Structure 1
Amino acid sequence: MPLFVGLMSGTSLDGIDAALVRCGEGPVTLVDAVGLPMPDTLRNQLLALCQAQSVDVARLASAETAFCQLQAKAVARLLVKSGTGPEDIVAIGSHGQTIEHAPYGYDDDSAAAFTWQLDNPSLLAELTGCRVVADFRRRDLAAGGQAAPLAPAFHAALFSDPQEWRLVLNLGGFANITLLPPASVDAPVIGFDTGPANALLDAWHLRHRPGNYDADGAWAASGQVDASLLARLFEEPFFHRPPPKSTGREVFHLDWLASHLTGDEVPEDVQATLAELTAASVALGVEQAIDHQQANGAVRLIPCGGGAHNRDLLDRLGRRLPGLGLMHCEDIEWSPDWLEAGAFAWLAWRRLEALPGNLPSVTGARGPRILGGVYSA
């Protein structure tokens, strides 16, 4: 089957994931993958853009070029590692870097909805010698959808089972779920963002300790959950909206957290509370999804994303979701680390085959849409 490359840089801003994927009429298979860490300078540039009230065009162009060069470097490493030439790649599916995501508009209900991913597919095609498919989200938004999450269609292609309900949980910068009905049940796939995951955990850790993340959730595990703080955080309206829904750094960031702090908290207790907030909001989302679909019988949970390696977070989820069985991505020969990058390789294949890439039951769009624009090498 044809080879595609998927590129993903998520809201955690930790680096570029590049996956080499075989896509076609048969099973989608992961051939190889590499991860390229985000240089601190570029990460800080992108974070500043995410939080900026206004944007200097020259700074924007500089960050976009540096980001694209890092993407091209990731592609080059992947091709060398896998022994593949650019001529063997049908297309690169590039997600870009989300800078702003406002599916409800911005500041007030009268503002236009938008989503903005920093990307330069023309330059990426030039640097890699490969055709590029990019700008996947805005077509769904134009059709009245949330433009996110887009991965559930890919989850359905990989994980759907004839007999059992399955729930894919992606723990990236933000958490989202996909509930997959068995083939024997006449029900749509649904999926939505549940709230923050690594974005707040990483940011609070970086403010107080060395390193960009809390390895295995050890620091969070050393603290005590502040029940009063958790209750204040959980008052955020997003958690209680019905799906379809999606979110990002526009809602959940350190200033948002600071607005709920008294100033007397112990840092590790805040970290524990943020981990519990992720577990509680995921559990609420799972309950919403199962109730909405009237899922009968056992539901098997499939964790993926960076948070799938966070033992403390998984333990908290296990306590809040005791009735769910567990399945590992590796059971179908996919690593949890490359699922999102693989999704954009698959979406690039869908685009070139003129097949829809969105699920209206997930995003709320008016119907299926072909996603992305094509940039020739």
Structure 2
Amino acid sequence: MAGMNTDLLTLVRQALLFERLHTIPELSRTLSTSFPTIKKHLDILIEHGEVDEQDSDVSSGGRPAKRYRYRADHTHGLALYLELDAIGYRIFDAVGTLLTNGTVSVPRQQPHVPALVRLIHRLLAQDPRITFLSIGVAASVEDGKVFFAPDYPSLQQVDLKQTLESEFRLPVVIENDMNAAVVGFHEADQNRQQSLIYLYLGKNGPGSGILINGQLVRGSSHFAGEISVVPQYDKMTFGQAIAKRRATLDAQTIDAISRLTATFAATLNPRLLIFNGEELTEHDLEQIRFKTTEYIPEAHIPLLIRSNWETDYLNGLTRIGLQLLTEQPLSANRRSSS
């Protein structure tokens, strides 16, 4: 469309969706763009059914200011995550509201990609309004290609993004599970722009997601957070040290987590270290904090807290999926129901 700035269109969508900005003055000020230019791009989004224009309920006596909101019913997204023996999913609307969710079992001997493709086909048939996919995997990912998946040999070196985009002709984003979880926690947290780390012991092997000053850390080779390989003892990595843990954490597991906590504190100095609430108790956290003081001064130990990992994971995949939605060309935001 003549005069349209596609980068600005993405920024306007993101400001409406994520920053909850609703007026042209707010958008103009935040995006450092003129009123007429903002208005033109809002008109484009209205024309394509993405945005609604409404009169403000509050008036200073003059003409009511127009307010704009991203339409929840514009489209639907689908988030899925792969576990060793299951695939979980969530369908959500264009502002991230949950519509439906579920879990499908996958036999451990069965490759995950065919099972994933079958499930997506079934869900698309049930909801033809889905126009984008967000996929979480317990593996290292770069540009949609899985390159380190010790617990998922059938995914190793699979370009999952290309595979799914070729199959479904929809935009797809692939993300590491812990990156998604830390993003999901951060989105729900009131203290933005902070540094935090999400630590998962997990049936898939341990992993972590890292946010520094509100920015997701992937590392130069997208290997950041692969804590299973961190050396801790003469002959054991962190992954090996906790491999035989039980429901009640033993002394070796407590020590291994405490050493890793000290490592994080000395290198990244996060404000929060978040654990899966189903894996550790508050008593476990007390033991970890006490043991960590043997390695570093207590003043530098991050706050240790528990959270709902599955909720954070799915919230993160939803947020990442909506980010993908905002980056799409206008013509890519709808899918025929035929």
- TM-score norm. by structure 1 comes to 0.45
Q: Which has the higher contact order (CA 8 A, sep 6+)?
A: 1
Alignment TM-score, normalising by the size of structure 2: 0.49
Bigger radius of gyration: 2
